Structure 1
Amino acid sequence: MDSTTAEVAYNFAPFLRVYTDGLVERLIGTDVVPPAMNSETGVSTKDVVIAPETGVSARLFKPNSVNPEKRLPLLVYFHGGGFSLCSPYCSIYHNYLTSLVLEADIIAVSVAYRLAPENPVPAAYEDSWAALQWVVSHCNGQGSEPWLKDHADFQRVFLAGDSAGGNISHNLAVQAGVEGLGGVKLQGICVVHPYFGRKSEDDVGKVDDNASGGRPDVRPGVDNWWLYACPTTSGFNDPRYNPAADERLWRLGCSKVLVCVAEKDALRERGWFYYETLGKSGWSGEVEIMETEGEGHVFHLFKPSCGRAVTLMKRIVSFINQE
C-alpha cells in the first residue's frame, strides 16, 4: 500500500478505507497463500486464469487421493467481503475451502472476481458468470483443465458463498434458470449469511457498521456496502440485492437451496426473509434453513475449529453429498 496524506472519503473500518486521492486501503484478506500439489493438508491446489482480458482467475481444490473411476461433486465458490474485499488466495478462504474439500470429498473452484471500488458491481456478477461458463465448458470431456475433465461430476454441480458470495450464488442460479447451463445439472446452492436487501424501506439494519461513507443521505448499517459497491444501483429494491423484487425468482435454476443464518448477525432477518420469499415464489425446488445460535456474521471463517463452525461445516457437507 502506498502512503497518502489525503483525507478519508469512505470509512468502512475495520475492513476498508478509501481516500480522497483514490487510494484503497484493504484491512483484511490481502495475504496470499501459495498453491501446493499433494499438500500435507490432504488437498492439492492450483491457480488458473479464466479470462486474461479482465484478470478473472480461480483457485482449484482437489483431494490428494482421487479414485480415477469415481466422479466427485463439483462446487463453485464465491467469497464474501462486500464485493470489495478478500480473494480465494487469502488464508481465510484458502483454509476454509481446503477444509470443506477434504471433509466433503469434492472438487472446488473458488472464483477471484474483480473487486469494487476499482471495478464496481456489476463486475463481480459478470466475472462470476464468466467463471461458471468456463467451468461448465469442461462437461463431456471438453475444456483444458484436467481436474475438471477427469474428476468432476457435472450432474452434481453446486454453487456456494458467504455474505456477498451468497448473493452472487443466488443471482447466478437465477441467471442459470433463465439462460440454462448447456446440459449441466446445477443441483443446489448454499448461501451462508447471505448479503441481501431488507424487507422494506422501513426495515433499517439493526446493526450500524459505522460506515457513513461520507454520505449523509444514505441509511446506516450494512446497506452502505451495497450503495458503495454498486453506485449505479436503482436502490434497495434492486432485484440483485433484494430477491423479493425479482420477477424471475421462481425460475431459480437448481432443485434445492440451503440458507444458513446466525443469531447475532445483522443479516439474520434478511436470510430468513429470503428463505420465506423463495418458499412462496412458485419455485418448484426445496429450501432448507439452518440457524446457528450465539454467533455473528461469518464466524465460521474466523473460528473454524469451534463446535458451532464444525456443525455448520457438517450441514453443508451433508447438503452437497446427500442424494
Structure 2
Amino acid sequence: MISYKIKTCNTASKAATQTATDILHDVFPFVRVYKNGTIIRYLPEELVPPSTDPTARVRSKDVTIDHHRNISARIFVPENLKLRQNLPILVYYHGGGFTTGSAFSKTYNTYLTSLVSKAKIVAVSVNYRLAPEHDLPIGYDDAWYALKWVFSHSRSLGGNGSEPWLRKNVDFGKGFVGGDSAGGNIAHNVVLRAGLEKKSGIVLKGLFLNCPNFWGSTRIGEEEKKPFEVVFRNRLWLLVHPNVPATFDYPATNPSLDPNIHKLGCKNLLVYVAGEDILRDRGELYVDTLNKSAWGGSIRFFDIPGEGHVFDIANPDTDNARKMLHEVALFITEDNA
C-alpha cells in the first residue's frame, strides 16, 4: 500500500548519538550511512496521491507491478482519453542519485503531468527500489522488470497484462523510455538490455536522457575544475554499486567504454545536458561514443548554457525548462501523427 505522507527523517534524533568517526558513507545531502546501520536521508519529499488535473487535463492512478519486489508505478493519461486511441507510451525513471526520489513525489508528478498534457501520450513513471538498502544492480533489474510488465500489455507480443489504461489505449510500436540524472542512467541501461535481450520481444522507438548520471575513472572536460564534486560523485557510486571494481569504468556507469553500446535497443535518441553541470561532459561523451559506433541511429543533442543539473525538473517554470519540455514532447510525437 502506498503512503502519500511527506517523506522526511528526524536527523537530530536518529543521529544524535553518532559522531563523525561513526560515519561509514557520507553522500550529503542525499544520504549518510552510519556503522551501526542507521541510514539518514536528508532531502524531504512531498508525496502526492494520483488525481485528475483539470488544468492540464491529465488523469493519473497508481499500480503495483510486483508486491514481492516492491515495484510500483504511476500511470498518466490524457483526461479525454478514448478507448483504443493508440497513443505513444513513455516509461520514465526518476532521478535522485539512486538513493532518493519517488514516482509519487510532487516534483515528478508535476513533470509527468506537464509532459502528458503537452504530448498527449500515456506515461508510466516507475518507482524502483533505492540504495543503500538495495544496491545496484537491483534498481536496474526493477526497471527492466517494470518495462517488461508494461509491454506485457502488448497484443502483438501475446501479452496478458490486465491494466486497461495500457491494454486498450497504447500503440506499443511507439514505445519510448526516458529519465533524468540517475534515472537517465537507468533508462540507458534498460534500453541497452532491450537491445541485448532480443528474446524479450521489446522493440523501442526512442530514448531520452536528461543530464544522465554517467561517470568514469579518468577526468574529462571540466571535471578537473570541480574537485569537491568529483569526490561527491565517487562516493555516490561507491555507495550505490559497491560490488564492482572501484574504477567507475564498468559499462553501467561508463557506457563510453562499453563494447556493446552499439546494441542500444532503439534508433532515436534525445540527450540534453546543462552547461554548469559536472555531468555535462559525460553526456556529450555518450553522444560522441554512439555516433562513432556501429549503432547507426539518429541523435538530437542539446547543451543548455548557464543551467545546473536537471534544471527543468527543479525549476519547471523557466524558459529553458519549457523549451526542453517542448523538445521532449516533439521527440515522442512528431513521427506519430
- The runs of 5 or more residues in structure 2 that have no matched partner are 1-8
Change (3 A) 1:60 1:177: same
Q: Which amino acid aligns with 1:125?
A: Y
Show the counterpart of 2:123.
108
Query: Is 2:323 the partner of 1:302?
Result: no
Show the counterpart of 1:223.
234
The structure 2 residue matched to 1:185, chosen from 191, 199, 203, is 203
Show the counterpart of 1:169.
187
C-alpha distance in 2 between matches for 1:303 and 1:102: 18
Show the counterpart of 2:289.
277
Show the counterpart of 2:218.
201
**Is the contact made by 1:205 and 1:220 (CA closer than 8 Å) also made in structure 2?**
no
Show the counterpart of 1:233.
244
Equivalence map 1:1-323=2 (5 Å): 1=9, 3-4=13-14, 5-7=17-19, 9=23, 10-28=25-43, 30-37=45-52, 40-140=55-155, 142-180=160-198, 182-198=200-216, 201-203=218-220, 206-208=225-227, 220-234=231-245, 235-323=247-335
1:16 deviation in Å?
Answer: 2.4
Provide the aligned C-alpha RMSD in A.
Answer: 1.8
C-alpha distance in 1 between matches for 2:309 and 2:219: 22
Look up the SS of the partner of 2:231 in the other structure. coil
Change (3 A) 1:205 1:55: farther
Look up the SS of the partner of 1:186 in the other structure. coil
1:28 deviation in Å?
Answer: 2.3
Percent identical: 41
1:319 deviation in Å?
Answer: 0.7
**Structure 1 range deviating more: 64-73 or 243-252:** 64-73
**Structure 1 range deviating more: 219-228 or 279-288:** 219-228
- The runs of 5 or more residues in structure 1 that have no matched partner are 211-218
Change (3 A) 1:16 1:179: same
1:15 deviation in Å?
Answer: 2.7
Look up the SS of the partner of 1:233 in the other structure. coil
C-alpha distance in 2 between matches for 1:208 and 1:99: 36
1:19 deviation in Å?
Answer: 2.8
Q: Deviations over 1:279-316 (max 9, x none)?
A: 11110211221111110001111210110100011111
Q: Deviations over 1:165-221 (max 9, x none)?
A: 1111111111100112644430010011001124x52445543456xxxxxxxx624
C-alpha distance in 2 between matches for 1:38 and 1:81: 25
Q: Which amino acid aligns with 2:237?
A: W
Look up the SS of the partner of 2:205 in the other structure. strand
4+ runs deviating over 6 angstroms:
none
TM-score by length of 1: 0.92
TM-score by length of 2: 0.88
**Structure 1 range deviating more: 49-58 or 20-29:** 20-29
| Greater fraction helix | 2
C-alpha distance in 2 between matches for 1:30 and 1:205: 32
1:22 deviation in Å?
Answer: 2.0
**Is the contact made by 2:52 and 2:59 (CA closer than 8 Å) also made in structure 1?**
yes
Q: Deviations over 1:236-255 (max 9, x none)?
A: 11110011221111111101
The alignment covers a number of residue pairs equal to 314
C-alpha distance in 2 between matches for 1:253 and 1:242: 17
Change (3 A) 1:66 1:209: farther
Change (3 A) 1:270 1:29: farther
**Is the contact made by 2:60 and 2:75 (CA closer than 8 Å) also made in structure 1?**
yes
C-alpha distance in 1 between matches for 2:150 and 2:228: 36
C-alpha distance in 1 between matches for 2:313 and 2:271: 17
